[in-house]
Amino acid sequence: MELKLLSEGAEAKIYLVKEKVKEENKKNKKTEEKSKEKNEEINETKKTTKTKIKKYILKERIKKNYRHKKLDEKIINFRTKREYKILKKLEETTEKQKEKNNEKNVFFPKAIKIEKNKITLQYIEGKEYNKIIKKLTLKEKNKIIKEIAKKIFLMHKKNIIHSDITPKNILLDKNLKVYFIDFGLSFFSERIEDKVYDLYMTKETFSEEFYNKLLKEYKKMYKKTFPEKIKLLEERIIRVEKRGKNKQKQRK
Ligand SMILES: Nc1ncnc2c1ncn2[C@@H]1O[C@H](COP(=O)(O)OP(=O)(O)OP(=O)(O)O)[C@@H](O)[C@H]1O
Ligand SMILES: [Mg+2]
């Protein structure tokens, strides 16, 4: 097993784990026996072993010395468990969905293991949003924002509030498929206001332009799925935006 430190952020150390696994490949090799009396096919099983490298992510939450030791342990345990729980919940509901409409809609790493302050996650072969976006066309960018809105809407439908939607917490693979990571601050809530605030945060973490486009796409989906609640959503947006503006004024 090989460990490589990928990133050390404010909250956690992220390691890439490479593990060698031996896989037995059973191949059915068809051979024809050239018999004079009968012409029959014989299935011959041939065993081969291959060594594959499996990649995982190990996320280890860091102790904070400025926090009281007991409180720090509590926070770390809580966030580790929360991240695991939310990812499991997402996986569970996505599995059900897949059965229903046979659609692959996985946009998060699978949680594999939890151990005190560490979780093992599926490795997403991708790059952070902010490292990719500059190289893309406007059309590609808009398509990605639409995908991001779709994924947020899916989470919100399951009453999952990500709560930390930033350019570093969205990964894009080589086909520009969107993945969300970093669910340590996520929580369950049915409140529309919490959902709107989740979106509103992107005005600061991305840009005003990003937020406006995201909101437009989100509203379209919301109207389609919950036509009876669209007025309420619009009201909440006005409320959250007003509060945001007041906060900005206070800071000046
Ligand atoms: N499952 C994963 N697959 C691939 N890369 C990952 C995965 N999880 C995390 N990373 C990489 O590690 C970085 C940090 O991970 P994460 O956001 O979960 O922790 P963090 O402590 O919040 O870090 P930061 O404070 O830098 O945001 C991500 O931005 C990403 O580049
Ligand atoms: Mg992060």
Catalytic residue among 164, 173, 194, 198: 164
pLDDT digits (tens, 9 = 90+) for 94-132: 877 665 554 467 899 999 999 999 999 999 999 999 999
Rounded CA separation 119/14 (Å): 10
Does CATH place domain 125-247 in 1.10.510.10?
yes
- Going from the Cα of 173 to the center of ligand 1, the distance in angstroms, rounded, reads 14
pTM of the predicted model as reported, rounded to 2 decimal places: 0.87
pLDDT digits (tens, 9 = 90+) for 164-194: 999 999 999 999 999 999 999 999 999 999 9
Rounded CA separation 134/48 (Å): 45
Q: Is the CB of 128 under 6 A from ligand 1?
A: yes
CATH 3.30.200.20 intervals, the chain:
1-23+43-123
Angle CA(104)–CA(108)–CA(113) in degrees, nearest 5? 115
CATH level 3 topology of 1-23+43-123:
Phosphorylase Kinase; domain 1 (3.30.200)
Rounded CA separation 208/116 (Å): 39
Q: Is the CB of 215 under 6 A from ligand 1?
A: no
CATH 1.10.510.10 intervals, the chain:
125-247
